[in-house]
Structure 1
Amino acid sequence: MHHFKYLFISFFLFLVTKNHYAIAQTNQVTNDNSCKKFPVFVGKMGYDIAASAFSTTEKNKVGLMLLELARDKKNRAISTNQERQKVYQDATWKQFGYLSAITFDNKGNIYVLPTPFISLLQNKPWQMNRIMKVDTETGKMSVWMDLQADSTQTINNPYGLLSLTFDCTDLSIWTSSVYGSSRHSEIGTIYHIDATTKKIVDTLKNTDALSLAISTDEHNARRLYYGSARDGKIFSYLIDHNGALIRTSFRLETSLENIGIRGDDKPRKIRFVNGVMVVTGKSFNYNLEATSDKIESTYRFVWGQATNRWILQSIE
């Protein structure tokens, strides 16, 4: 069994110049992030927006950090070794402890999740189902929504919300929680939330999702893809015109089980790049594990039109 210092809080570094925007084509699985914007306050602070990024995994730092990466003095290209030229943290960005998943909305507001790191000293168990928001204009962080769980947290599972994504189709947020689940009990929830009204559009209960992604499928139909926190499988549901999941459309997409160098990776992150499903896989066992290792692999799948299934293209 592999253990990781950062567990699943992998390098959540969001750089504007590295966003991937897929173009919808027939029989090609794509997603649309084109509505997402960078926060207004970053430009007001005089930062080089094209070289700016947000990170929740800066060494010896708690919370969210704004970085400006250095540029080469000759050709002005962004540093390939991700050298930091400027580092900024507002006082409100560290008051909620360690953070993980980040997403942006159509106005440049930032949404971010709390996630314990090594111990629970910085993150209170009863606060793990909160979504924080950084205002695009002021740059101040506050609690945006507290999703009260139906269950109680178990001693062997310190986690709550794990995954977060903004849906440009209907300007909504999808997030998933494993609050109260254990290795033997799956009682997590996937939430679909109207970002304007904070109304919960739909919930999928008894589901532990480690990762979420919204995309059109091979028939150009809108789907929610999610990676299971319990095994290496990736599942999906169709989304109807009201934003609800169509339960009868549930299907297994692919799996990371018994592939890769470890054979037990879970889908920590899913994204679609020009028709390729890119999955970041690593171990997840519902508990805090602290060693010096941080091991992950990248799996790339392409949709086979002839076979009507995902085909593993590469593992890195």
Structure 2
Amino acid sequence: MKRYFIIISSLLIVLLSFFIIKTLKERTPQYSTLSIKNIGNFDIINTCAQYPKFLTKLKIPQPIAIDLSQQQHKGLAFLYGHKLRQFLHLKTWEKFDYFSTYVFDPQGHTYLTPMPYISIKEKTFEFQKNIYKVDTHSGKLSIWMTLEEVKATSRNPYGLISLDYDCDDHTLWVSAIDETSYSLNKGVIYHIDIKSKKILNKIEGFDALSLKLVTSNTGKQLLFGGAKDNVLYALDITSLTIKKLFELPNREEKIRKIKLRNQNLLELQTIPFGYSLIAQTSQTGNRRYYQLKWNDSYSSWQLSSK
């Protein structure tokens, strides 16, 4: 009888221990262990970007947003007013077809990268090698710089795709994904001096679908989402070394936009990008949004859906 009592007691202790461990595990925050790397703590900083001066002349009130969705306006449009329902759109802003991303500089000039849209036209491939500019005073859209080595083709219609502005040295970071195929990753990230239009650096072998500069306590980093994989990368702009920060759970999702929302907090927009035109230009449910937070206490990234 005593032996059975010991056996039953032991079983109860094992079951109780399992229940306690399971309960504690459920109450403890779970952090992803995928590709745990970090760039140090980072935070939002004041931007040098200014709205174009022609908007003030036209007495267009803030808030203002640029619409590149191509759903209602070809090229670009400035949205304003209650719930951004009013718009400013010039016919001359349509002459280079469609745009992918934009940045403002301290004077209010707007720099844009191109994007092919749904169907290929006569000048589609030619448009993909240019960085475009909207003048802050006149609102005139023109080609600011051409990178002749960027060659979009029917096999891969993309060329220059994303850019960001560095307020510290007044340079542009621009990415191109034109030479990549399903088997080769031959993308280029360009670092361009705005005043001289000189290419300061070329980082080759990475297809960057999105770019975002952040400053952390380890230095300035250029974050970018891979066009061929579901990975968020960081380029140290001083050493020009690249590290893998985080891998999304779904391999089909590619990071199309990166926004800095708060201290150590990023917002990621993803699409099922595959170098075809449909997924990139669609505004349907293919786009997903995530928050990615670096938790310094756990030395880990936390991913959550929005």
Give TM class, smaller chain: 0.7 to 0.9
Match of 2:185 in 1: 186
In the alignment, residue 261 of structure 2 is paired with which amino acid? V
d(CA) in 2 for partners of 1:257, 1:176: 25
d(CA) in 1 for partners of 2:108, 2:122: 27
Question: What secondary structure sits across from 1:277 in the alignment?
Answer: strand
Question: Which structure: larger Rg?
Answer: 2
Identity %: 32
In the alignment, residue 50 of structure 2 is paired with which amino acid? K
User: Structure 1 or 2: larger helix share?
Assistant: 2
Match of 2:67 in 1: 55
Question: What secondary structure sits across from 2:190 in the alignment?
Answer: strand
User: Does residue 252 in structure 1 map to residue 244 in structure 2?
Assistant: yes
| 1:93 to 1:293, Cα distance in 2 relative to 1, 3 A | same
| 1:220 to 1:273, Cα distance in 2 relative to 1, 3 A | farther
Q: TM-score, normalized by length of structure 2?
A: 0.80
| 1:173 to 1:31, Cα distance in 2 relative to 1, 3 A | farther
User: Does residue 44 in structure 1 map to residue 32 in structure 2?
Assistant: no
Match of 2:142 in 1: 142
2:256 to 257, 263, 268: 268
Shift of 1:216: 1.8
2:224 to 226, 230, 233: 226
Paired residues, what number?
Answer: 265
Q: Is the 8 A contact 2:212 2:258 kept in 1?
A: yes
In the alignment, residue 277 of structure 1 is paired with which amino acid? L
d(CA) in 2 for partners of 1:135, 1:112: 12
d(CA) in 2 for partners of 1:299, 1:135: 34
In the alignment, residue 269 of structure 1 is paired with which amino acid? K
- 1:73-127 CA-to-partner distances (Å, cap 9, x unmatched) read xxxxxx3xx4x23x32223311101112111011100011211111112752122
- 1:46-72 CA-to-partner distances (Å, cap 9, x unmatched) read 211x133221224242111122222xx
Q: Is the 8 A contact 2:214 2:223 kept in 1?
A: yes
Shift of 1:228: 0.4
Match of 2:297 in 1: 306
Match of 1:297 in 2: 288
Query: Counterparts of 1:24-39 in structure 2 under 5 Å?
Result: 28-39=41-52
| 1:33 to 1:123, Cα distance in 2 relative to 1, 3 A | farther
- 1:138-173 CA-to-partner distances (Å, cap 9, x unmatched) read 1101000111226x4343210111111111121111
Moved over 4 A (4+): none
Q: Is the 8 A contact 2:73 2:89 kept in 1?
A: no
Q: Is the 8 A contact 1:116 1:122 kept in 2?
A: no
Match of 1:69 in 2: 81
Aligned Cα root-mean-square deviation (Å): 2.1
d(CA) in 2 for partners of 1:34, 1:197: 23
Give unmatched runs, 5+ long, in structure 2: 1-39
1:280 to 233, 251, 269: 269
d(CA) in 2 for partners of 1:32, 1:196: 24
- 1:211-270 CA-to-partner distances (Å, cap 9, x unmatched) read 1111123x3411111110001101112122xxxxx24x4211101133xxxx52101111
Q: Is the 8 A contact 1:90 1:140 kept in 2?
A: no
Match of 2:132 in 1: 132
Question: What secondary structure sits across from 2:278 in the alignment?
Answer: coil
Shift of 1:294: 4.1
Query: Counterparts of 1:109-124 in structure 2 under 5 Å?
Result: 109-121=109-121, 123-124=123-124
d(CA) in 2 for partners of 1:93, 1:106: 22
Question: What secondary structure sits across from 1:289 in the alignment?
Answer: helix
Question: What secondary structure sits across from 1:302 in the alignment?
Answer: strand
In the alignment, residue 256 of structure 1 is paired with which amino acid? L
| 1:69 to 1:257, Cα distance in 2 relative to 1, 3 A | same
d(CA) in 1 for partners of 2:198, 2:267: 31
d(CA) in 1 for partners of 2:44, 2:173: 14
2:235 to 234, 237, 254: 237
d(CA) in 1 for partners of 2:276, 2:71: 21
d(CA) in 1 for partners of 2:81, 2:122: 28
Q: Is the 8 A contact 1:223 1:238 kept in 2?
A: yes
Q: Is the 8 A contact 1:176 1:210 kept in 2?
A: yes
d(CA) in 2 for partners of 1:198, 1:33: 25
Shift of 1:311: 2.1
Q: Is the 8 A contact 1:165 1:174 kept in 2?
A: yes
Q: Is the 8 A contact 2:125 2:153 kept in 1?
A: no
Match of 1:11 in 2: none
